[in-house]
Amino acid sequence: MSREPGHKHMGDAPTAEQVRAYLRDHPDFLVQNPELVHHLTPPSIDRGRGVVDLQAFMVERLRGELRLLKEQQRELIGTTRANVNSQNRIHAAVLFLLDAQSFEQLIQTITTDLAVLLDLDVACLVVESNGQDIPHVHSSGVRVVDQGVVNQYLGTADVVLNANVQGDPEIYGPGAGLVRSEALIRIQVSSETPDGLLAFGSREPDTFHTGQGTELVGFLARVVERVIRGWLELPA
């Protein structure tokens, strides 16, 4: 009798790939057919006289999976601790900002104390000038740049994290030589003021890097906007 093309005769042996596919789809196959273990030669410990220890093979695989899980757990714990530490630092920084007794003290807190509180090397507040004077802010602790500079650094983003960089003197002034990684956050104090920039720099090349969470530094920037707006009595 002729067979249709593609039809497998019952006597044809399955291919190795078909066996693998079946076992993947039926992981409890050996549990349901334990007698087949004696006909298999798994990569396991030979107990002598042709007896193979499938259980030892399974235990070793489980040990490997357990080691991997423990490594992942350690990484997760380390990341969680780092996040909690960062969160605590941000909370402390916010309290310092709110405790400022004058606008001058506020600027000093932003440009000096924040670096210490966040365990960084440089913190700068950058504002764009209108080309004639410094809008609303007259302080030696503020870096003044030309209009459009903020967008040159941030583009359309509100936060940019850069690793393995050389700090730009336009942003960091004399402290630029210390900066090897940075967080640049857009500051929009009021509709009456041009954009600004909150810049954090670290001497470690990987303190800030692409893919890192930006929620905490973004929150800190929003607090900075509000306290400056409050001291200068500016509209939102």
115-149 pLDDT, tens digit each: 999 989 999 999 988 665 554 454 556 888 888 99
Name which residue leads in pLDDT, 73 or 114. Answer: 114
pLDDT at residue 211 in the model:
84
Alpha helices in 100-206 (DSSP H): 103-108, 114-117, 149-154, 169-172
* Choice among 15-19, 61-65, 104-108 with the minimum mean pLDDT: 61-65
Give residues with Cβ within 8 angstroms of 70, minimum separation 6: none
Q: Tens digit of pLDDT for each residue in 32-66?
A: 776 666 566 555 555 555 555 566 666 666 677 77
pLDDT at residue 1 in the model:
45
Structure tokens at 49: 């006289």
Give residues with Cβ within 8 angstroms of 95, minimum separation 6: none
- pLDDT reading at 27 higher than 60: yes
Q: What strands, in cross-sheet order, belong to the sheet with 122-128?
A: 142-145, 122-128, 196-202, 181-187, 159-162
pLDDT at residue 3 in the model:
47
pLDDT at residue 199 in the model:
95
Give residues with Cβ within 8 angstroms of 136, minimum separation 6: 189, 192, 193, 232, 234
Structure tokens at 120: 């960084």
Give residues with Cβ within 8 angstroms of 120, minimum separation 6: 114, 200, 201, 202, 207
- The percentage of the chain sitting over the pLDDT mark of 90, rounded to a whole number, equals 36
What's the predicted TM-score (pTM) here? Answer: 0.64
| Residue whose tokens read 């050996």 | 30
Determine how many CB atoms are found less than 10 A away from the CB of residue 109. Answer: 21
pLDDT band at 84 (very low <50, low <70, confident <90, very high): low
pLDDT band at 19 (very low <50, low <70, confident <90, very high): confident
Structure tokens at 201: 């720099």
Q: What span, in angstroms and rounded, lies between the C-alpha atoms of 189 and 196?
A: 8
pLDDT at residue 129 in the model:
81
Q: What span, in angstroms and rounded, lies between the C-alpha atoms of 190 and 232?
A: 10
Name which of 215, 236, 216, 210 is nearest 225 in CA terms: 236
